[in-house]
Amino acid sequence: MRELVSSLGIVLLLTGCTTGRQSTEDWISLFNGEDLTGWDIKIAGRPLNENFRNTFRVEDNMIRISYDDYENFDEAYGHLYYRQPYSHYKLRFEYRFTGDQTPGGAEWNVRNSGVMLHSQSAASNAYGQTFPVSVELQLLGGLGDGPRTTGNVCTPGTAVVMGDTIDYRHCINSTSATYDGDRWVSAEAIVLGGEAMHFLIEGDTVLSFTQPQIGGGFTSRRGGQQNWEQAGFGEAWREWVSREGEILTGGYIALQAESHPIDFRNIELLDLGKRGR
């Protein structure tokens, strides 16, 4: 709890800047608006940097995850990785879901995507791996039938501490509002190495947790060989399991593609001075 209180104080400091201090912040754009320079692509069952069926596109100053060239999703889970790792930073962006889900996508992936933080690199993914070991800032769109929060945390191959307890739930809901339709939504992550992460939606802090770490598998229960192998790790699962409990202090940022079209724009980062590994 002491760590959470401490990091919340840092959040207040970082988000409560005066106008003068804001003018000195050196935000950088991770996306040049023209092409995918600086990013790597890894789609399950495809070689590194094969943009299978033109899934990742640049149009109108947006990164668009599109399935126009798909007849069926066929579990082609993919991620677009920024090549520079970071440890302590603020990340902000806008996103919107569009249209209908691709045929063959899982029911739980309707208007579902995310941004992976402290992720392993694209190159270190196993060939058939569906999700990187990472901490996911989960993005969900409303379905028009009741509450559905966004800015949640999901934990492929990881776990986080809520309060004073390691929480092995695969996804933990935030306190955000529900955003129906194809509207733009602003999101921000304050990432403080291995200490804490804080997620903001439309300027409000909706979720905070501490000590992101390896472990937990890929289901709602603690993982084992079967869970890791089903996620396409092959023999690589043994190394990850041997590292259970290791605090993640840095890593890569990746945009997720998991069957529903989504657009990203204004992807910006403020490096807080400690570089990831």
Q: Please give the mean pLDDT across all residues of the chain.
A: 90
Please state the rounded mean pLDDT for residues 228-241. 85
More confident of the two residues 115 and 6: 115
Place of tokens 């879901």: 97
pLDDT at 226: 55
pLDDT at 224: 54
The backbone torsions φ and ψ at residue 112, rounded to the nearest 5 degrees and listed phi first, read -135, 125
Torsion of CA 170, 245, 166, 157, to 10 degrees: 0
Percent of the chain with pLDDT over 90: 79
The backbone torsions φ and ψ at residue 228, rounded to the nearest 5 degrees and listed phi first, read -65, -40
Give per-residue pLDDT as tens, 126-183.
999 999 999 999 999 999 999 999 999 999 999 999 999 999 999 999 999 999 999 9
Structure tokens at 172: 């933990």
Asked if 7 contacts 195 with a C-beta cutoff of 8 angstroms, the reply is yes
Apex 248 CA angle, 265 and 126, nearest 5: 75
Cα–Cα distance, 159 to 156 (Å, whole number): 8
Give per-residue pLDDT as tens, 60-84.
999 999 999 999 999 999 999 999 9
- For 2-275, the fitting CATH number among 2.60.120.560, 3.40.190.10, 3.10.20.30, 2.70.70.10 is 2.60.120.560
pLDDT confidence tier of residue 14, bands split at 50, 70 and 90? low
* Cα distances (angstroms) measured from residue 25 to each of 186, 202, 228, 233, 268: 19, 20, 41, 40, 12
pLDDT at 227: 78
Please state the rounded mean pLDDT for residues 123-128. 96
Apex 131 CA angle, 255 and 172, nearest 5: 80
Cα–Cα distance, 86 to 269 (Å, whole number): 10
Structure tokens at 84: 């520079």
Structure tokens at 154: 């999901």
pLDDT confidence tier of residue 274, bands split at 50, 70 and 90? low
pLDDT at 155: 95
Lowest mean pLDDT of 92-101, 114-123, 211-220, name the range. 211-220
Please state the rounded mean pLDDT for residues 8-15. 50
